[in-house]
Structure formats: C-alpha cells, structure tokens
Amino acid sequence: MTITTAVSGLTERTASSTSSPERSGILWSVPTKEIARRLSGHPWVRSVSVRKSFPDRLVVRIQERTPVAMINLDVLHYLDDEGRPFKRLTAYDPKNLAIVTGFSREELIRKDPVTVRDLRKTLDLLRGVEAGALRQNVSEIHFDAQDGYTVVTRDAGLQLKVGTMDVKEAIRRIEAAMPRISRMPRSSGIADLKTEGRVFMRPGE
C-alpha cells in the first residue's frame, strides 16, 4: 500500500504509479532511493522523501513547486519562488501569471551568479508590487542590465520605469506614483519614476 501526498501539477495517480515497485514483493525489497530519484525528476516536485512503514506501507511525502510567475526563455516556463524555471508551458497550462522577460536561457542553465541574483531581485519586485498598488495588475516585468526594471500593468499596458534602483525603493515609488497617475488625463504609455518625487509621462514606445 502506498500513501502519497500529491501536488497540484502531479496527480495522485501519477505519483502512485511512479512510486509503486516494478514487481511485487515484500516491503524489504522496495528500493526507496530509486523511487525518490524517479519522483525527483518530475518538474512539479521540489523535494521528496520515501520511507517504509511496516508492516505493509510505503509513505511518500512530496513538497510541490509553486509557480509565482512565467519566464520567457524563447518559450514560456513556470518560475518558482526561488527563481528556478521548472516546467515548460504547454497549450493546456494556465497562463494567468506575470511574465518575466530580459533573461538569457543559457545564463540560467549555467547558473550565472549575476543572472540568478538579478532574477531573484526581479521576483522580489514582482511580489512587492503585487502585494500593494498593483495587486493582480502586473502583466510583465522586464529587466535590462543597463536600464533596470520596467513594470507593465495588465489593464492599460502602462510601463512603469524605475531604473536600477534598490527594489524596496522601486516598490515605494510605484506605490506613491499610482494614485497620482490614476488622476492624470493620460494613464497609459510610459511613466518614468527614476526621479524622486516626480512622474514623467510620455507616449508608449
């Protein structure tokens, strides 16, 4: 008998079939390390533990990955809260998360430390603005090593440019600027927030 803590992207049937022994036998013969290795290869699995519970149970505990954004690496992938792309999206996967752009697939594959750091900071910015003034209203966050961050809203496609400033300061400026922008005749296009206390609006590019 197998007990599996299933995850959202990994159905209980899939987890059970993956963790079931290839041939019947007594519990002593079940290869727990091999089962853990096979489950770890599933994109939705962050961590897994497998143990035997006598007399006749195999207990599998799975910690899932939670997608917090999508990232464009030529094709869309889900991105977890640690900044790791973990699943290539198919036509059937939900696509209702913000998209992160501006990062190189090759640099992420080789875990370039600067790229990994910049991606995590981009996710910190996303979490910060989605928790405040832009709740459920972020379409994209673009990062450029020279120009910094651009946050794009879902509703009007407004581009909020905050440059390369500290993430906490960027969040503070967006929080302060959004009420002012909403009262302006033009609330779409580009809003340059790089100057303290000022909002410079111009048509979109």
Which residues share a beta bridge with 163? 149
DSSP state of 185: S
- Can you give the pLDDT at residue 21? 55
3-state secondary structure 50-114: EEEECCCEEEEEEEECCEEEEEEECEEEEEECCCCEEEECCCCCCCCCCEEECCCHHHHHCCCHH
Confidence check: pLDDT of 10 > 50: yes
Tens-digit pLDDT profile for residues 41-79: 888 888 888 887 777 777 888 888 999 999 999 899 999
Provide the domain count of the chain. 2
- Can you give the pLDDT at residue 29? 66
Structural domain ending residue among the three candidates 64, 95, 115: 64
CA distances from 187 to 30, 88, 181 (A): 62, 34, 6
Residues 56 and 77 in one domain: no
- Can you give the pLDDT at residue 176? 93
Range 14-30 average pLDDT: 57
Confidence check: pLDDT of 1 > 50: no
Across all residues in the chain, what is the average pLDDT? 85
- Can you give the pLDDT at residue 13? 56
- Can you give the pLDDT at residue 173? 95
Structural domain ending residue among the three candidates 11, 41, 64: 64
Residues 56 and 115 in one domain: no
Tens-digit pLDDT profile for residues 128-180: 999 998 988 999 999 999 999 999 999 889 999 999 999 999 999 999 999 99
Secondary element (H or E) of residue 128? helix 113-130
Which residues share a beta bridge with 7? 10
CATH code for the domain of 49: 3.10.20.310
CATH code for the domain of 135: 3.40.50.11690
Structural domain harbouring 16: 2-64
- Can you give the pLDDT at residue 9? 58
Q: Which among 34-38, 41-45, 186-190 has the top mean pLDDT?
A: 41-45
Residues 176 and 95 in one domain: yes
Answer whether 99's CB lies under 8 Å from 71's CB. yes
Tens-digit pLDDT profile for residues 96-107: 999 999 999 999
